[in-house]
Chains A and B, each alone.
Chain A
């Protein structure tokens, strides 16, 4: 319960920061932008009402925080559509891309890590360590640009067609047949997905390897070996089982980073997702959208942190939540 309170507190801080940044510090007068003369009068009135523009600063602030917490993000300056409605258009592409990327990355990374830990010093161990260091030093967007250069542009120059498309999530016009449509989406997502996996699996491989190596030196593993259990049983039943809590926690904690990081992926491959929407809105000073997306990102981080804490307690009963340093 204390953690939930902390989460709400943090959310309030984020909302306040949003308010300070966009309504006080911002050089573009929000009142001026919102009261664009081209807007229809009824929209203008409802906006005035929503933001309390004719009221003093502290009242505006209270209204603002209330709006944020009640999911009333207002209307996009650019499209005049409610932000929540626009969000629902953008969400599917992002969820599809990130969901599949996350799953694929973990399903490549963790097995590599397990293999690396079980065969210390082998080639796969070098791969795990190398790819782990790689994730620290290599910008994923550069891998993506390279893939784009070679598999789309050079491929097209050499063979007359691109192996993977460079933009969008579906062909224009979209195919009508459901099966073809699915295949088309998969074809469009292949390159973003592949590059995200290449850029990200090393982190999981190295992390799993280190956690598992730590577990393999524990006394109970020595005991299990001494009992004459097969190496497979020791590895999967005993050692790997104990590494699940930290790995699951790490996955939960990693979700927000992947979501915000994929902003660049959406930018490069022109994927009509939330990240690209955010960037375009920011560049166009469409502040309602920017604030809403920032707030939603913050919620996502907070929820993931909370979930990580709870999951850790569930998976590892020895840990009392709140007792960690």
Chain B
């Protein structure tokens, strides 16, 4: 960059920027806006450090509509538990002579040497203590497999035992003679699991099972029936998990699928900033170019571009952009382009009228007389002089673009692959955020939109004050 300018020009430029900064610094409202903006930029940059969750993956990390964790400081919520995640630790409870190793994974090797041809049952036990109020969901997941199956029938059963010793069967592997390898996932809200236990489908199973505080156990029961003297099978149980979904979670709770809301909010700052700045930059650049060229060249070019501006001013923007996004695809780049391409008409008019008056100035006449080309005059003399106006307009175009994108997203026309604040509002509106009174899902994205937009509005207000001194101190 530096090589573009001579030393003198660099000094002049630095001085101009310095003066501008001095003036801007004296505007409290502008500095306030700048502060908010910097805050959001930092959030956007450090998003991965602020939250461990990925907003795209939508990991289920607590129950749906879990409240923020900090509400537990209020007495009425103080008992609400966070997510309890238990990694399995299997111990041999019965038939320990067959258990070859135990711990987070376990291996059971059955053969007929020890007990001959009687049916044998082996029990693995994983102890869990649950000390909170009854939960609404839990799930168990583990992976198991059998190898070296030979002349044997076996079956497996997974149970939860409550502190009083009552068993609940969660999963059954029917009698088999084949080798199997599978991942088991048992969800307490699964209607099959619930009806197998004899409850109506709408029952809150987690609440019934974990109704008391105390020592629970996961039991994995295996039965082996040998079919000959040489019966043999090895069962491997890989690391499993019992997850009791929390009723409070993180900074801002969870959404309708139990994913972290704070992650959405933090990553949304990136998208909103990007959309706002890019779309405004596209619009402003087109506006400057068209305005300067139309104003400087005049004639047919001027006439044609001003008619285009007229047409653009008459387009119903929101419905038109909705239609365009619908037809071209819900892609963030299209959205940015559309907002930019349909958002330069006002600026073009202003720049054009400025250029018209600049064109008559003596120094431009001089440049013309000394043989400067139109391109040279426009790029060296006209554009630098309209830049301050364009800067103010750029800053004021950003909140417009952000709001526009938020509206599109809210109506369901946003890019489905990126987390945006508008989409958060759309989901909370469409997926029960209101009926569940999930304020932590509704209010933060809105406040984020407002504060980011107001940051730009404040800065634009301050810039306008500097650039249009006519309006200054009028009150």
Contacts and interface: CB of A to CB of B under 8 A. Distances in A.
Interface of A: 6, 9-10, 13-14, 21-22, 25-27, 120-121, 125, 133-134, 136-139, 141-142, 145-146, 148-149, 152-154, 157, 166, 213, 217, 256, 259-261, 263-264, 267-268, 278-279, 282-283, 290, 293-294, 297-298, 300-302, 305, 325
Given A133-B454, A142-B450, A261 B318 contact: yes
List the 7 closest pairs (A to B, CB-CB), nearest first: A137-B453, A297-B316, A142-B446, A137-B454, A137-B457, A136-B457, A260-B318
A175 B434 CA distance: 27
A260 B411 contact: no
A263 B353 CA distance: 34
B202 interface: no
B315 A139 contact: no
13 contacts: A6-B310, A137-B456, A138-B454, A139-B406, A142-B450, A152-B434, A213-B475, A260-B319, A263-B319, A264-B410, A279-B322, A294-B320, A325-B356
A10 B310 contact: yes
Interface in B341-394: 353, 356
Interface in B177-222: none
Contacts of A325: 353, 356
Interface string B423-459: 0010001000011010100110010011001101110
Given A26-B327, A294-B316, A153 B454 contact: no
A250 B449 CA distance: 27
B314 A145 contact: no
Nearest to A12: B311
Given A133-B457, A137-B450, A290-B323, A145 B429 contact: yes
Contact-size category for B: 35 or more
A259 B310 CA distance: 19
B411 A264 contact: yes
A146 B445 CA distance: 12
B139 interface: no
A282 to B, nearest CB: 5
B474 A153 contact: no
A201 to B, nearest CB: 17
B340 interface: no
Main secondary structure of the interface of A (DSSP, over half): helix
Contacts, number: 125
A259 B317 CA distance: 11
Contacts of B458: 133
Nearest to B451: A137
Contact of B450 (A9, A121, A138, A278): A138
A6 B306 CA distance: 11
A149 B307 CA distance: 45
A134 B411 CA distance: 22
Contacts of A141: 407, 410, 425
Interface string B253-273: 000000000000000000000
Contacts of A146: 442-443, 446
Interface of B: 307, 310-311, 313-320, 322-324, 326-328, 353, 356, 396, 399-400, 403, 406-407, 410-412, 425, 429, 434-435, 437, 439, 442-443, 446, 449-450, 453-454, 456-458, 461, 474-475
B403 A267 contact: no
Given A142-B450, A260-B318, A149 B434 contact: yes
Contacts of A278: 319
Given A133-B457, A139-B446, A282-B323, A157 B437 contact: yes
A305 B453 contact: no
A177 B326 CA distance: 43
Given A153-B434, A213-B475, A282-B326, A136 B318 contact: no
Contact of B314 (A14, A259, A260): A14
A80 B45 CA distance: 52
A139 B316 contact: no
A307 B456 CA distance: 33
A19 B316 CA distance: 16
Given A6-B310, A282-B326, A14 B403 contact: no
Given A10-B314, A136-B396, A139-B449, A267 B411 contact: yes
Nearest to A134: B454
A25 B412 contact: no
Contacts of A139: 403, 406-407, 410, 446, 449-450
A161 to B, nearest CB: 15
A87 to B, nearest CB: 14
A137 B36 CA distance: 13
B267 to A, nearest CB: 19
B455 to A, nearest CB: 8
A146 B446 CA distance: 9
A153 B313 CA distance: 40
A222 B410 CA distance: 50
A39 B439 CA distance: 46
B315 to A, nearest CB: 7
Contacts of A263: 318-319, 411
Contacts of B326: 282-283
A133 B461 contact: yes
Nearest to A11: B314
Given A25-B327, A133-B458, A149-B437, A264 B446 contact: no
Contacts of B461: 133
**Residue from A136, A261, A264 whose CB has the most chain B CB atoms within 10 Å:** A136
A213 B474 CA distance: 8
B474 A217 contact: yes
Given A136-B396, A136-B457, A137-B456, A301 B316 contact: yes
B437 A153 contact: yes
Given A10-B314, A145-B446, A264 B407 contact: yes
A199 to B, nearest CB: 11
B13 to A, nearest CB: 31
Contacts of B353: 325
A305 B314 contact: yes
B439 A21 contact: no
B453 A260 contact: no
A25 to B, nearest CB: 6
B315 A282 contact: no
A113 B425 CA distance: 32
A192 B201 CA distance: 40
Contacts of B324: 21
Nearest to B439: A149
Contacts of A137: 399, 403, 450, 453-454, 456-457
B400 to A, nearest CB: 8
A139 to B, nearest CB: 5
A259 B327 CA distance: 23
B177 to A, nearest CB: 53
B403 A10 contact: no
B314 A301 contact: yes
A277 to B, nearest CB: 11
Contacts of B328: 25
Nearest to B349: A325
Contacts of B400: 136
Contact of B327 (A6, A21, A136, A302): A21
A263 B317 CA distance: 12
